[in-house]
Amino acid sequence: MNSIAANPVQTEIIQTTNLTKAYADYTAVSRLNLHIPKGTVYGFLGPNGAGKSTTMKMLLGLTRPTGGSFTIDGKQYPGDRVKILREIGSFIEAPAFYGNLTGWENLEIIRKLLGLPRSAVSDALELVALTPYKDRLAKRYSLGMKQRLGLAGALIGRPPILILDEPTNGLDPVGIHEIRTLIRSLPQKFNCTVLVSSHLLSEVELMADTVGILNRGHLLFEGTLEELKNTAAAQGYPTDNLEDTFLALIGADNNRRTTAQGGAK
């Protein structure tokens, strides 16, 4: 399936052009063209190894692309890398903290590095419901609390762009609901844009305005959930929920690749 781009009325705050990351033996991301509208929640979906985390790391300057380019809020990588980073709050993989410092003290380090006002720490803790545990050592936090602290680190200073990789990992159903509700509210509350990846497709369905579906480094679809449903219906795929549609798209793409490889032998 060719990638299908949405026609958003909003300005695209993140755009990639043929973005590629290749290693010696495989290509993690291949000629990726993303269009992320400003002031929206963009759900980034794909199975393990699809290239989601690699893409996010490229947008954050943590790994260098081997091809293509991208712009964030009109700023071009790599020339504007520092300016780009000033606008982004991020949560990538398992957050790392100083275990012998409290949650408050860990965020205080980030606050000082960013030159934010003292109120930024209490504000971030309040957003993720960690205020009652602000004086507990980070090493005594549960996995879910560590996820919240990582999210607080991304939210501190209320940046205009958030890049969140699996932010609900380790949370119980109540915590997942709270974080989903928070993420859903951020564009309207703070006029920010959220790029979020998650394996919980039912949650993405409830929070995302637009989705991009990645498989083996290739973009299979990009657009609104309504556009996805229409596209899936036209292909004869199930449309009752996002998970069934997602599995059908990935399965069909994998089958095409297997057939193509067999024909190439």
Q: Are residues 138 and 26 in the same domain?
A: no
Q: Name the band, by pLDDT with cuts 50, 70 and 90, for residue 200.
A: confident
Beta bridge partners of 67: 20
Residue 149, Cβ neighbours under 10 Å: how many?
A: 23
Name the residue range of residue 101's domain. Answer: 96-159
Q: Are residues 72 and 16 in the same domain?
A: yes
Q: Name the band, by pLDDT with cuts 50, 70 and 90, for residue 10.
A: low
Asked whether residue 7 is assigned to any structural domain, the reply reads no
- The CA distance from 263 to 243, in Å, is 30
Q: What is the pLDDT of residues 43-57, one digit of tens each?
A: 999 999 999 999 999
Q: How many CA atoms lie within 13 A of 133 on its CB side?
A: 18
- Residue 25 tokens read as 């033996």
Q: Are residues 175 and 76 in the same domain?
A: yes
Q: What is the pLDDT of residues 125-162, one digit of tens each?
A: 998 989 999 999 999 998 888 888 999 999 999 999 99
Q: Are residues 165 and 155 in the same domain?
A: no
> Average pLDDT in the 10-14 region?
86
Q: Are residues 67 and 151 in the same domain?
A: no
Q: Are residues 112 and 171 in the same domain?
A: no
Cβ pair 219, 212 in contact under 8 A: yes
Is there a cis peptide before residue 78, judged by omega within 30 degrees of 0?
A: yes
Q: Which residues contact 232 (CB under 8 A, 6 or more apart)?
A: 238, 239, 245, 248, 249
Compute the Cα dihedral for 53, 178, 126, 120 and give only its sign: positive
Asked whether residue 247 is assigned to any structural domain, the reply reads yes
| pLDDT value at 113 more than 60 | yes
Q: Are residues 177 and 256 in the same domain?
A: yes
Q: Are residues 165 and 60 in the same domain?
A: yes
- The CA distance from 55 to 166, in Å, is 14
Asked whether residue 56 is assigned to any structural domain, the reply reads yes
Q: What is the pLDDT of residues 74-91, one digit of tens each?
A: 999 988 888 998 899 999
Model pLDDT, residue 265: 55
Q: What is the pLDDT of residues 210-243, one digit of tens each?
A: 999 999 999 999 999 999 999 999 999 999 999 9
